[in-house]
Amino acid sequence: MVWFKRISFFLVVNFAMMITIGVIVSFFGLDRSVYRSTGLDYTSLLELCFLWGMGGAFFSLAISRIAAKWMMGVQVIDPNTGGELGELVRTVHNLARAAHLPAMPEVGIYDSPEVNAFATGPTKSRSLVAVSSGLLRTMDKAQLEGVLGHELSHVANGDMVTLTLIQGVVNSFVFFFAKLAAIAVANAGRSERENSRGSSFMVEFLFRWIFGLIGMMIVAWFSRWREFRADAGGARVAGRDKMRSALQRLRSYGEAVDGSHPSLAAFKINGGMGGFMALFATHPPLEERIARLDSLRT
């Protein structure tokens, strides 16, 4: 199930990140600075947690293009290529100019039956726009322009950086509150000064998972909000009719979404879950997106 893959991937990636950062922090003795003779220094702990959270988030942003190419098997298209792929590059570059991007993005294609596309990259000048082979087979030229306009609006809006900042802040508070909760459990009924170092490693990780899931809901909420904004941007860049036609086409292929790379879900044009798991969805329902697009002023 897609939602299970999303949560499982989140847990595995965050566990690996926490282990890596934890080893670095312990090796350099950075964690010892949060303890004083009077007990835990909450200000120092919060500063250390922000180092963990923001550091991990910005590292992910820095390698986002490389990671996307590796995970999705994206093949970057030479701008001088002819045929259909050359036309794809030219379309992206024309829309990028209309979106006033400072530099042309890389354009790529990945082999997948899903009807989807995504944009990623650390800055507006170093971005990647990739489409699936399934999308190229499914959509006509006008619909494709709508999809590409949407993705380029993500780049123009700086959504990758904004999402990274939000993820970093969320991660920081996840680390902070997990540490406090673990200390509270370890020190139950005893003084903080005597036992502040006694928080269990496994208990702390358990709280990180719990608070991490709550953090996922916050990040997912922002991701859903920015999808509406990118739809509006796609309408401005490519035209409202093309954007609407693209969303309607995506609705016809709502199940054709590859869930094997959840870390890229927020950067795709199509995705979502139903029921309670909608709280973790990076995209609003397509019906809601179409209605929101129709409500925009002409």
Active site members: 151
β-bridge partners, 268? 118
Give φ, ψ of 170 to 5 degrees: -60, -45
Mapping DSSP to helix (H, G, I), strand (E, B) and coil, where does residue 91 land? helix
Rg (CA), the chain: 22
Give φ, ψ of 257 to 5 degrees: -125, 125
CB atoms within 10 A of CB 231: 25
> Residues 271, 282: contact at Cβ < 8 Å?
yes
The edge-to-edge listing of strands for the beta sheet with 126-132 is 75-76, 106-110, 126-132, 117-123
CB atoms within 10 A of CB 138: 18
Mapping DSSP to helix (H, G, I), strand (E, B) and coil, where does residue 142 land? helix
> Residues 92, 105: contact at Cβ < 8 Å?
yes
